[in-house]
Structure 1
């Protein structure tokens, strides 16, 4: 218990409540999409039906890279990136010098090395257009920047992180019985009291997680648009290139003379042995030149927090250095920086930590919506403005899951013609528009019931749609050592059952109440 004078306690309660009113729906949106984005890799395996358990970069990639470089114009050979793509494939991205009009080529190959897709144009237009991995990429993109153009999206999600930090700290300060609230849930109490107990219980248990999530999320959101430019302005007079040179060391002396590319398969194998984990991403700078460099970013090794980054000579394939997360030598700042991603995304202990992060994410979503409901419960009947916010809370809290389920429906419907990037976004927008229409046409609690049923039906439709689109069945997936597919189907069906549980009784009761109240008012 934190003892505060009455005046300060009231101010903190007001700050806690009004911050939820001002930023609660934005915070919920970022939390809900982040809860799903934690499982992005598993969603990718589930949606694509990938059955090869090997990491794509552990297969032979040298011939694929050489062929892509040979087919590309010389101007597009400044940087070549290799990463995994959908359906166990590999994506080779070639780019020219960085700039607002940077151009590039993306080549996607299957497990057998056969070219599946090739796109050429402005780098901003072709980046991220992986038809097979479109669903996972779309859901992550919503969380990271809400698809707001430029760096403004990162600023908005950063504001949500600060709102979470403010809510967590003010909630901690105004808790009268912190330890008691860890175990208090009066299920037989009156509805307002039971709702308050649920809010306090979930908020108390989720408090450490919320603080970690708020700090790391705000860091990632503000680092690019605010953090690095500010550091460059303070320390280097605004020269960001000088900042990155200080952090990463000077680039090798320019030598454009032709030279053969090192054996990338041998480099990847050596990196995997040194890191104790499979390569996750490979970058080749200036391939075919004497000053070429190969940087291998490894997966996080089980039991480690940060992943290894290894640098090789791009001509001889000789190992040059193991690079820290930030800086040119191991340091406390570099260690803290390296902790940010594992603590935010929860992938430091494999699936177990991801499931824990997902559960705590659901908990934080419940706290956010529940707290906003508690604030509105006494006000919504007094003033039309509060009633409108109460209805908007239902639309966002239940419409966002419906829209995310709609993106999955759109993805599978677009697989036939390879237009999943567009169809995934269309599915999200159509489902979101339906939620908005319901919000205008229906009152609570009928609105809540309809959105729950619609979301449950959309989630229940996803496993059959996956199978109809050519995805493997459970027996085939389990025999191939890929439990993510069966796990994903089971999780979706479980959520659907939870949402559809006794819907008829709830909707009949809501319809009876709406009939007694008369036609809805704007």
Structure 2
């Protein structure tokens, strides 16, 4: 590789890395506890404990559970209702002052589907884990924070690509995984930086790109609403405001009939971001580990409960839905979470060693410049 080309790639690698490193370190550190969020909730006692009841105890119907939720948060409006993947007896409810309000101002809690008892989930509304989540998602800056993190993710991918370009000719002179023990500390750290970077290469690109997509989720959802949802609810454009919603009792039955072989993941209530002012939207999931992350929305008229439409999923929504669990290693159970955590720690080492190498190189350049200046003065 020509020296001019090397300098160009080195410039790209240095500055894309430096610009994004502080943000990437923050994302890597906050991402570690988020990988084990379910386990941490159980260890800290923040996961709700359901009463011991005979096996097969029937669940209350959906409208009864909605009424229980509304009684628990009088004055708030129902936004979403979903099912706990860890416990079939658990139902989560999300409520807010308005149906379509800011998700960060909503309140989440669990309901025992057998008794209707509401149980608070502190981690979902505040505390350490919520701080980690908000820092990781938007740095408490809303959409501008998300877009800034998306840009940092793109710089991270550029830094990885430029690093590979620089590493390829370097490795022609050394065997793979060589760390030169007899060289200076800077050279040893350079070898480790390159080695760990190559080992984590594929994972870093996957996490970086899925992170960019997740950071753009608000824009993706807005596009979905404009493209698919608005087309389906066009006949309701001039309809009067919904005076009273129909009972939610049969929503699951109706949705299962509409999408055979699927199970409900969550319900968006009228006025929420994933529905319309006149509809329930029941999001149905598949029965395999992969298809359980792909959701098919069934729009049900909130007044007479007839099915208005079953929305197809555009490719960008599929990409978003699949990227979210992949970003946190939520596809393969605990072994994959441990692998994700180990790779996360290695990435922190790569980022930290990169900063160290830049600082040592800069300090050496400053020392040389001072020495040249002193020599010039003496002369």
- The DSSP-based 3-state class of the residue aligned with 1:154 is helix
Q: Deviations over 1:468-510 (max 9, x none)?
A: xxxxxxxxxxxxxxxxxxxxxxxxxxxxxxxxxxxxxxxxxxx
How do 1:412-431 and structure 2 match up within 5 A? Answer: none
Q: What is the match of residue 136 of structure 1?
A: 129
Query: 2: distance between equivalents of 1:200 and 1:272?
Result: 53
Residue 31 of structure 1 pairs with residue 34 of structure 2:
no
Question: What CA deviation, in whole Å up to 9, does each residue of 1:448-469 have, x standing for no partner?
Answer: xxxxxxxxxxxxxxxxxxxxxx
Which of 112, 116, 129 aligns to 1:113? It is 116
Q: Structure 1: how far apart are the matches of 2:206 and 2:104?
A: 38
Q: 1:52 to 1:99 in 2, by over 3 A?
A: closer
Unaligned runs of 5+ in 2: 53-57, 368-379
Q: Which residue of 1 aligns with 2:153?
A: 161
**Cα distance, 1:139–1:73 mapped onto 2, change above 3 Å:** closer
CA 1:271–1:105 in structure 2 vs 1: closer, same or farther (change >3 Å)? farther
Alpha-carbon distance change, 304 to 259 in structure 1, aligned in 2, over 3 angstroms: closer
Aligned residues: CA RMSD: 4.5
In the alignment, the residues of structure 2 paired with residue 290 and residue 29 of structure 1 have an alpha-carbon distance, to the nearest angstrom, of: 39
Q: Is 1:373–2:374 an aligned residue pair?
A: no
| Structure with a larger share of its residues in helix | 1
Unmatched 5+ stretches in structure 1 = 118-127, 230-239, 327-331, 385-522
Partner of 2:372: none
1:213-252 paired onto structure 2 within 5 Å: 213-222=207-216, 224=218, 227=219, 244-248=225-229, 249-251=231-233
1:167 to partner: Cα distance: 0.9
Contact 1:37 1:140 in 2 (8 A): yes
Higher relative contact order (CA 8 A, sep 6+): 2
> Which residue, out of 174, 181, 186, partners 2:179?
186
41 and 24 in structure 1: CA distance in 2 versus 1, 3 angstrom threshold: same
Tell me if the contact between 1:30 and 1:160 (Cα under 8 Å) persists in the aligned partners. Answer: no
Question: Quick check: 1:7 aligned with 2:8?
Answer: no
Corresponding residue for 2:266?
Answer: 281
1:363 to 323, 346, 355: 346
SS in structure 2 opposite 1:377?
helix
Alpha carbons 2:35, 2:329 under 8 Å: kept: yes
CA contact under 8 A between 2:17 and 2:159: conserved in structure 1? yes
Q: Please tell me whether the aligned partners of residues 154 and 221 of structure 1 are also in contact (alpha carbons under 8 angstroms).
A: yes
Q: In structure 2, the residue corresponding to 1:81 is in which secondary structure?
A: strand
Contact map agreement 1:325 1:338 (CA 8 A) in 2: no
Closer, same or farther: CA 140–103 of 1 in aligned 2, 3 Å: closer
Does the 8 A contact of 1:300 with 1:306 survive in 2?
no
Instruction: Write out per-residue CA displacement over residues 328-348 of structure 1, whole angstroms, 9 at most, x where no aligned residue.
Output: xxxx55544443324323323
TM-score normalized by the length of structure 1: 0.54
